[in-house]
Structure 1
Amino acid sequence: MHYLYLALAIVSEVIATSLMPLTQGFTRLWPSLAVAVGYGVAFYCLSLTLKILPIGVIYAIWSGAGIALIAVVGTVFFKQSLDTPALIGIGLIVAGVLVLNLFSKTLPH
């Protein structure tokens, strides 16, 4: 169940971050409220995950997965492009998340 909460935290954070440009500097009410709710859900789900799993590893997974997903959202929905160094850096972040999940003894499998 803790991995479901982590997944919900990641998805909620990505949705909230993706909606941030629509707030126009938090001058538009409904997008601003959606961002606040998204981050609220993200942090609540993250707090539930942290009842069981260690904060350092979970935060690394949460932020790493969020970075990779936001890069995809930026490319697909906002037509932003990433240069080679950005792609390599994001690839290294994803590789780090995979190493944590597949090989770390810190996380229950």
Structure 2
Amino acid sequence: MSTHWFFLLAAIAVEIVATAALKSVVSAPWLVAFLPLALIGLSFALLSIALRVIPLAVAYAVWEGLGIVGIAVIGHLLFGEHLTAGRLVALAAILAGILLLERGVGDAEAEEARHARVDGRLV
């Protein structure tokens, strides 16, 4: 696994913490309320490092998708928000979409070779 994937995972973790902090700082002093904004900035900085190697569509889908799944779990565990069967199916669909998108990005030469074949013959 490339170090850029670790930067992406760190960006996701920071995004989840920042989003959870938004719910927690609603009645906090104004200075503390800026913490989520700083964390979101850090998340974007980490994402920008990951984007140097990871394709944009894949990185963004993983960042947002895992962020959504992560915050749904945090909302359930920390804030008592319900994870109904329908929501669990939706979260599973998000994860499936991320996997499909990530698997669809491959070696450019392999992609070209796959598209150059028609009925098993090279065109």
Matched to 1:5, the amino acid is F
**1:84-95 superposed matches below 5 A:** 84-95=85-96
Task: Return closer, same or farther for 1:28/1:4 CA change in 2, 3 Å cut-off.
Answer: same
Take 1:86 and 1:95, find their aligned partners in 2: how far apart are those partners?
14
Larger Rg: 2
Take 1:69 and 1:91, find their aligned partners in 2: how far apart are those partners?
12
Q: Which runs of 5 or more residues in structure 2 are unaligned?
A: 108-123
**TM-score w.r.t. length of structure 1:** 0.85
**TM-score w.r.t. length of structure 2:** 0.76
Take 2:27 and 2:47, find their aligned partners in 1: how far apart are those partners?
26
Deviations 1:35-84, CA, capped at 9 Å, x for gaps: 02210110000011111121111101111100110010000000110222
**1:1-109 superposed matches below 5 A:** 1-24=3-26, 28-30=30-32, 32-101=33-102, 103-106=103-106
Take 2:72 and 2:23, find their aligned partners in 1: how far apart are those partners?
14
Q: CA RMSD in A?
A: 1.9
**3-state DSSP class of the match of 1:89?**
helix
